[in-house]
Amino acid sequence: MTRPNQAQPPAQSSSSVVIIVDDDASIRASLDSLFRSVGLETRLFGSPAELLGGVMPDKPACIVLDVRLPGVSGLDLQGQLTRQGIRFPIIFMTGHGDIPMSVRAMKAGAVDFLSKPFRDQDMLDAVTAALERDAQRRAEAATKEDIRIQYESLTAREREVMGHVTAGLMNKQVAGLIGLSEITVKIHRGNVMRKMEVRSLADLVRKAEALGISQNRKTTDQT
């Protein structure tokens, strides 16, 4: 996998980040101290607005979030982040939670839901799991992003040919379908292989699958 984009590990001062959102300064401080004691980087926020106004870290991270927050609730923030495409794993804390609240949070993808007071070790375990999950997610996203960039370097014709080729059609079938000569299809196909940086059809098919290329039947017609 070449890497025309994405984060390198050059100056990785800290491997992972824990984002803490709580309106109680003393809780922020104690969590900050807890996470730093195990070598984790922290970012502290007193409100959802502060978090949303800031820059998201470009390394594995997770969010430790109080359910009860000034303005919106932690659960609302969870939905807001999801809609914005910010997919850091979330660990909830609450002093006055109930079962429906915890179930809702877990359904929405939270990693854990801890009732205050919780044991430090429980929080650390949850954060460890969350950071592992995020590292996994980042790796997958980076791979897919590389492929997406390659795909975007294709011209419209090349994408069309790629779709049909990865669907298993022969060059002459592709030619017939989109009204070209077979030799032209071969040229496009060669360009696709070069731009997608694959040397076998098998790898091209896998990259197409990763992109979710379905080649919807009959959407192209003429033009």
DSSP string, 107-168: HTT-SEEEESS--HHHHHHHHHHHHHHHHHHHHHHHHHHHHHHHHHTS-HHHHHHHHHHHTT
Q: Between 169 and 208, how does the x/- string for binding to DNA read (CB under 7 A)?
A: -xxx------xxx-xx-xxxxx--x-------x-------
| Chain centre to alpha carbon of residue 197 | 23
In sequence order, the 6+-apart residues with CB closer than 8 A to the CB of 127 are 18, 35, 40, 62, 64, 91
Residue 84 neighbours by CB distance under 10 Å:
10
Q: Which two tokens stand for residue 110?
A: 């939270």
User: Min. distance of Cβ 65 from a second copy in angstroms?
Assistant: 15
Q: Which two tokens stand for residue 183?
A: 């030799």
Given candidates 9, 53, 117, 168, which one binds a second copy under the rule CB under 8 A? Answer: 168
User: Min. distance of Cβ 167 from a second copy in angstroms?
Assistant: 6
User: Min. distance of Cβ 196 from a second copy in angstroms?
Assistant: 8
Can you tell me the distance from the alpha carbon of 105 to that of 110, in angstroms, rounded to the nearest whole number?
Answer: 6
45 vs 113, which CB is nearer to a second copy? 113
| Chain centre to alpha carbon of residue 186 | 35
70 vs 95, which CB is nearer to a second copy? 95
Question: Per rule CB under 8 A, is residue 158 in the interface with a second copy?
Answer: no
216 exposed, middle or buried (CB, 10 Å; 0-12, 13-18, 19+)?
exposed
51 vs 193, which CB is nearer to DNA? 193
Stretch touching a second copy by CB under 8 A, among 6-14, 19-27, 57-65, 213-221? 213-221
Q: Which two tokens stand for residue 21?
A: 């959102």
Binding residues with a second copy: total (CB under 8 A): 34
Given candidates 100, 117, 179, 212, which one binds a second copy under the rule CB under 8 A? Answer: 100
End-to-end CA distance of the chain: 35
Question: Per rule CB under 7 A, is residue 215 in the interface with DNA?
Answer: no
Q: Between 147 and 176, how does the x/- string for binding to DNA read (CB under 7 A)?
A: --------xxxx-----------xxx----
Sites of contact with a second copy (CB under 8 A): 1-2, 94, 97-100, 102-103, 106-107, 112-113, 115, 165-169, 197-203, 205-206, 209, 219-223
Sites of contact with DNA (CB under 7 A): 155-158, 170-172, 179-181, 183-184, 186-190, 193, 201
